[in-house]
Structure 1
Amino acid sequence: MARAKQYADRVNIIKMVKLNGKWPFARIVERNGRIIRDHVWVDGRDEHHPEGHYYLEWYEDGKRRRKPVASYDLLLPAARAKSIELNAIKAGLITLPETPVAPVPTRLTMHAAIDQYLEYIRKHRSLRTYRTYRPVLNVLFRNSYTKTYVDEVTREDILKFTSDCFDQGLVPRTVYDRLVTVLQLFKRHGYKGLVEASDWPSYVETIRPIYEPEEIAAMLRNADPDEAILIKFCLSSGFRDREIRYVTWRDVDLRNSVVRVTAKPLWKFKPKNYEERAVPLPAAMIEQLRQLKARRNATPAELIFPNTKGKPNSLHIEVVKQVAHRAKLNCGQCVTKHGNRCGHGPYCQRFYLHKFRHTFATEHLRHGIDVRTLQGWMGHRDIQSTMVYLKGIQSKDALVKVNGGSLAAYIA
């Protein structure tokens, strides 16, 4: 906690805070000679105001001067330096040109805030994240937020955005994700606590769909060797689509039966949550990878599943759909947004890469892998993301009890 008393006679520390839509200066609160961070006096009351900026205030030639301080940690050094400077001027040791009064910070418009935040996302997050955030903020939120400045935001503005999303036909889970994006924008600019717990859209947490053993067997029977090893790798590693796209032979530890997710600066690939991880692979998978590497005479830096030019392949999803269609597994009811029917081609929405990840998680939990271990293998930052897979499993003990109960006796 910073001390301030020694400068109170020459250099005062004040703070610009928001009160009733305006930005006045307020005196800081001190106790026992120490500054209480983010506390100011308002009408004789000690109030907490984390928003706004700290300033130094002093009098020079009978005129009041103010100067902003970049951060709380710099308050005392700045006050000390200004006090020394004023005493030196008074003693005639130095002569400084007149310093203009520091202008009041320009209020940030909502349009500028969105542009700044999207630029931050573009530079610090993945391209996929940027492309997800951009339409939400550039289109949905710009059209919903009718005020000029960021500091005018209220809970009602956020609720209006939620309602506007529902009016556009978005489902609750999608609205929930859009709301997270908007609140991250405001958090970046220092505004938190804009919604209450009851304001979040409610949605049904569905059981994650998995591939049944019969479906996997049928796909493998109808896949060529390269397609089969891709499917097996997806199933045994639990990797995300982009992680499969950028995995190289250097990431595979053939001796210890482990495959790793690592950053690839060459292709600007960063692991999700910026965390590299290792996943154990079955011995049979390791052996097939060993044979594939030898057959290709591959170098460590080469991709395991590249396109025909040796570059990252973004069409692995098409391989899965084509194999499913060949195996006659399509449901025959799917219609894409372009009007393609899965009864006529490889367009079935029941077959996609991420479903292998669901299968990986569900089967490991079913066979006794604990949730914390699986969390590490999956690369989940939050344990809740892993626990959703518990809904799709049942223990063998529970099944024995169900079959041995009175209800089962009635059915028999």
Structure 2
Amino acid sequence: MQNPPKKLLDQVRDAIRLKHYSYRTEETYVQWIVRYILFHNKRHPKEMGVPEIEEFLTHLAVEGNVAAATQNQALNAILFLYRQVLQIELADRINAIRAKRPQQLPVVLSPDEAFAIIQQTTGVHRLMLQLLYGSGLRLRECMELRIKDIDFTQSQMVIRCGKGGKDRVTLLPQSVIEPLQLHIQQVRLIHQQDLELGYGATILPFAFNRKDPNASRQWVWQYVFPASTRCQDPKGSGIVRFHLHESGLQKALKQAVRLAKISKRVSCHTFRHSFATHLLQSGYDIRTIQELLGHKDVKTTMIYTHVLNRGGRGVVSPLDR
């Protein structure tokens, strides 16, 4: 007896996992594909093509007023559906009305502002903000740090599968080493308690759990910032301890900005912008900063040179002479 064919969304999930995309990408792609199907009154994607894709993307830009990055994300999800799942190559070029990408400069804190915000936080949230600012980490990179990725001897960290799936090495600030070591000692106690209770597993990247079934319980694979409770693995491999959720740090940062009375729109990524800008101001080579940030193209890093212009491209006003 043959097994019934898998549902479309299950096929999408299988294809994404075969490509070793992150769980977040999996959820995002599935959501966009569902929205695309619902927009066209639940028609099957096989019955649709370029005109329907253009109509959906145009709707997002014109009526949904989404950002250019959001529209591109939707397009990537739909293209993945057709090319990787349905094995359909779209012959015509997609000419939807595209959302405009604004030419915005990044928000940057002064060193005093960055420290003032960090001082308004405590515990693990302070430690995480210190790493965002002191090492130039993205929020997700900070959350997904594992014990094996931190090298206290060399004062550095290895960022695994950053944006674009690239690994890189960045610095570990000296001022963070002692509190981070104390924090890791507490994390080890939690892990030992989990093991004693018959748990202690975490989520492993890609298919590593098939290569080494015991790796998920090894100390080196544990998250540096584990969640306070255990949960069910969303991919179905049992009870695991995941990393902290981003929303906890985001809420703590919002409150810290308010307490520090900083009148700027500050997000976790603002600390990464500030890290790069302050290194440039200190005279570090832009290629070095590019490597620390993990940018593929130095043009991306060049945006941080805007602060060196000091307004008006470095021109001194005649009023100030």
Instruction: Give the TM-score band, short-chain normalised.
Output: 0.5 to 0.7
Between 118-127 and 194-203, report the one with greater CA deviation: 194-203
Whole-angstrom distance in 2 between the partners of 1:152 and 1:307: 43
Whole-angstrom distance in 2 between the partners of 1:196 and 1:220: 46
Corresponding letter in the other structure for 1:223 = T
Task: Establish whether residue 223 from structure 1 lines up as the match of residue 135 from structure 2.
Answer: no
For 1:296-307, list aligned pairs within 5 A: 301=220, 303-307=223-227
Instruction: Give the SS at the match of 2:224.
Output: coil
**Normalization by structure 1: what TM-score?**
0.54
Instruction: Give the SS at the match of 2:28.
Output: helix
Deviation at 1:258, TM superposition (A): 0.6
Deviation at 1:320, TM superposition (A): 1.9
Contact 2:155-2:174 at 8 Å conserved across structures: yes
Contact 2:125-2:252 at 8 Å conserved across structures: yes
Contact 1:141-1:182 at 8 Å conserved across structures: no
Instruction: Report which of the two has the higher share of helix.
Output: 2
Whole-angstrom distance in 2 between the partners of 1:369 and 1:249: 29
Deviation at 1:190, TM superposition (A): 4.4
Corresponding letter in the other structure for 1:150 = K
Instruction: Give the SS at the match of 1:259.
Output: strand
Deviation at 1:219, TM superposition (A): 1.8
Instruction: Give the SS at the match of 1:363.
Output: helix
Instruction: Give the SS at the match of 1:393.
Output: helix
Match of 2:22 in 1: 126
Match of 1:326 in 2: 259
Q: Flag the 1:117–1:403 CA change in 2: closer, same or farther, 3 A.
A: closer
Corresponding letter in the other structure for 1:176 = N
Deviation at 1:393, TM superposition (A): 2.6
The correspondence for 2:244, drawn from 285, 301, 313, is 313
Instruction: Give the SS at the match of 1:180.
Output: helix
Task: Establish whether residue 135 from structure 1 lines up as the match of residue 68 from structure 2.
Answer: no
Task: Establish whether residue 387 from structure 1 lines up as the match of residue 315 from structure 2.
Answer: no
Specify every segment of 5 or more residues in structure 2 that has no aligned partner in the other structure, as ranges: 1-5, 192-218, 231-240
Deviation at 1:178, TM superposition (A): 1.6
Deviation at 1:259, TM superposition (A): 0.8
Q: Percent identity?
A: 21
Contact 2:58-2:97 at 8 Å conserved across structures: no
Q: Flag the 1:193–1:207 CA change in 2: closer, same or farther, 3 A.
A: farther
Instruction: Give the SS at the match of 1:279.
Output: strand
Corresponding letter in the other structure for 1:361 = A
Whole-angstrom distance in 2 between the partners of 1:247 and 1:239: 10
Deviation at 1:169, TM superposition (A): 1.8
Deviation at 1:226, TM superposition (A): 4.3
Instruction: Report which of the two has the higher share of strand.
Output: 1
Instruction: Give the SS at the match of 2:170.
Output: strand
Deviation at 1:195, TM superposition (A): 2.6
Task: Establish whether residue 285 from structure 1 lines up as the match of residue 176 from structure 2.
Answer: yes
Structure number with greater Rg is 1
Q: Flag the 1:307–1:201 CA change in 2: closer, same or farther, 3 A.
A: closer
The correspondence for 1:355, drawn from 263, 270, 277, is 270
Between 187-196 and 140-149, report the one with greater CA deviation: 140-149
For 1:150-165, list aligned pairs within 5 A: 150=46, 153-154=49-50, 156-165=51-60
Whole-angstrom distance in 1 between the partners of 2:14 and 2:89: 19
Instruction: Give the SS at the match of 1:278.
Output: strand
Match of 1:98 in 2: none
Corresponding letter in the other structure for 2:60 = C
Deviation at 1:392, TM superposition (A): 4.0
Q: Which has the higher contact order (CA 8 A, sep 6+)?
A: 2
How many residue pairs were aligned?
270
**Cα shift readout 1:131-165 (whole Å, capped 9, x = no counterpart):** 211221112345238876638623x3332122222
CA RMSD of aligned residues (A): 3.8
Match of 1:242 in 2: 140
Contact 1:251-1:261 at 8 Å conserved across structures: yes
Match of 2:81 in 1: 185
**Normalization by structure 2: what TM-score?**
0.66
The correspondence for 2:166, drawn from 254, 275, 290, is 275
Whole-angstrom distance in 2 between the partners of 1:197 and 1:373: 39
Between 113-122 and 252-261, report the one with greater CA deviation: 113-122
Corresponding letter in the other structure for 1:128 = R
Contact 1:237-1:360 at 8 Å conserved across structures: yes
**Cα shift readout 1:11-57 (whole Å, capped 9, x = no counterpart):** xxxxxxxxxxxxxxxxxxxxxxxxxxxxxxxxxxxxxxxxxxxxxxx
Corresponding letter in the other structure for 1:317 = Q
**Cα shift readout 1:355-378 (whole Å, capped 9, x = no counterpart):** 222222333344444555444433
Corresponding letter in the other structure for 1:409 = P
Deviation at 1:402, TM superposition (A): 5.8
Q: Flag the 1:195–1:218 CA change in 2: closer, same or farther, 3 A.
A: same
Contact 1:279-1:377 at 8 Å conserved across structures: yes
Instruction: Give the SS at the match of 1:394.
Output: helix
